[in-house]
Amino acid sequence: MAKATHGRTTVLLVAIAALLTGCSPDAPAGPFPPRPADIDTTSVDLCAALTTEQQDELGVEAGEPDSAELGDGPTRLCGWSNYRNGYNYSVQTTPVPAAVAVGTPDSTVQEIDGYGVVQVTANETSAPLCTYYVDTSDNLGLRTLTQLTGRDMRNESGAIEEVCQRAKAFTTQVIQNLRPAE
């Protein structure tokens, strides 16, 4: 009996060692590449996600901060709207990491500016929405939302592709403006 227990213990220790080897700090967590740096979503000024020049390019006024309660916890957000062309942009903290969005309907894993992201689309024929969940840290996340609400463009073929192109550019700006200085 002692030999059988010793054999099982050895097999168990080898299995644990193999698992731990796969958890080295250099190995990416989940489907994302290693982050260039964590973004502290607990203290970052979300309305600083767009510079004045970027706001001018998008045709939006200064962002408006807000807070809300999500099912998983509190969130902070900042939003910008262009009432002339119908595009709305917002950035929001999430109390869960971006990995929770992996595998959701209409989602794809991508990379923007070195950060893993999950793109999720919705409302393709009514008010097209493209959301990016950004892998900012192990425990918390950030998401950007870009939506077309302009009546003259909502039902056009290819509108969701245009919304997602704008969303990707917006998300790139958000990441670049909120990430810690190197």
Q: In this predicted model, which residue has the larger pLDDT, 36 or 126?
A: 36
Q: Output the CA torsion 37→38→39→43 (10° steps).
A: -130
Q: pLDDT of 166-179, one tens digit each? A: 999 999 999 999 99
pTM for this one? 0.80
**Residue 89 corresponds to which amino acid?**
Y
What is the reported pLDDT for 152?
A: 57
Does the domain at 46-178 match CATH 3.40.1620? Answer given as no
Query: Using 50, 70 and 90 to split pLDDT, how confident is the model at 11?
Result: very low
- Residue 73 pLDDT more than 80? yes
Q: pLDDT of 83-118, one tens digit each? A: 888 899 999 999 999 999 999 888 999 999 999 999
What is the reported pLDDT for 74?
A: 87
- Residue 77 pLDDT more than 80? yes
The domain ranges of the chain are 46-178
Q: In this predicted model, which residue has the larger pLDDT, 66 or 150?
A: 66
What is the reported pLDDT for 123?
A: 84
